Amino acid sequence: MMHLLIRIYPFLAATLGVAAEHLDSDQAIIAPPKSHTLQPGVHEVQHELKKAEIFPTVIDKFLPSFLLDAEWPSGERAGLGNIVKVDKVQEEPTIKVRRTGPETVEASDVTYTITITDPDAPSRDNPKWGEFCHFIASGVKIPSTDTSDVFQLSGLKDIMPYKPPGPPPKTGKHRYVFLLFAPANGTTDPLQLTKPSDRKHWGADHAGHGVRDWAKDNGLEPVAANFVYAQNEEQ
């Protein structure tokens, strides 16, 4: 089970570089900020996502409410487009999410969902298997009455278990995109999220179907993102 660390800072100055099955109703959840003051890290996230053509290939452009970081037990980290070694990212990473502004957390307990997707399967030049779903989990919570700035949470529920990157030989660099989602309507009700019937195409029968389509079908909108590159050693 992946753990999420949520850090809430009064002032954020540094940038940083988851067939239908349904969740149980006892999900862990986190509350979003009322609004946010745009921080430099937000501009960097948007710039790097556009530069890597994640905007608009994988997800439509959005304004992040959180800054997201991922770190694997090996020490590898997601840093908005850095290259990681495949053998160093075989275990589930820990995710850190930090607010983009100084506002207080409101008391509306909405549920968040983390995903990882690969739009470059089996290669960026020939993404006939894309997108490929590597992870979906839901249930992240920040108690609105807790003033702590660090939260170690273990309430995530896997919808699609973590599958580590495994790009085939001679297929170049793959983009592995982390996206955090919240319900688009702000509901605090338990989410009834569907499980893709297959990892290829996120369960659809045609190339190009992916996390954006799945999120739309499940009433979710993106609030944070990060990504890494990985490639097979044989090129």
Q: What is the pLDDT of residues 120-141, one digit of tens each?
A: 999 999 999 999 999 999 987 5
- Strands of the sheet with 4-7, listed across from one edge: 66-71, 94-99, 4-7, 150-153
Among residues 8, 3, 11, which one has the least CA distance to residue 143?
8
Tokens at 131, concatenated: 């997108």
Please say whether the beta carbons of 34 and 126 come within 8 A.
no
Tell me whether the omega of the peptide bond preceding residue 122 falls within 30 degrees of 0, making it cis. yes
pLDDT at 34 over 70: no
Q: Is 173 helix (H, G, I), strand (E, B) or coil?
A: coil
Average pLDDT, the chain: 81
Report the predicted TM-score, pTM, of the whole model to 2 decimal places.
0.82
Average pLDDT, integer, range 143-165: 69
- Look at phi and psi of residue 211 and say left if phi exceeds 0, alpha if psi is from -120 to 50, else beta: alpha
Instruction: Identify the pLDDT of residue 31.
Output: 40
- Residue 193 near residue 166, CB atoms below 8 Å: no
pLDDT at 63: 94
> What's the rounded mean pLDDT across residues 7-13?
37
Tally of CB atoms within 10 A around 41? 20
Question: Measured between alpha carbons, how far is 12 from 151 in angstroms, rounded to an integer?
Answer: 17
Nearest alpha-carbon partner for 95 in 171, 152, 23: 152
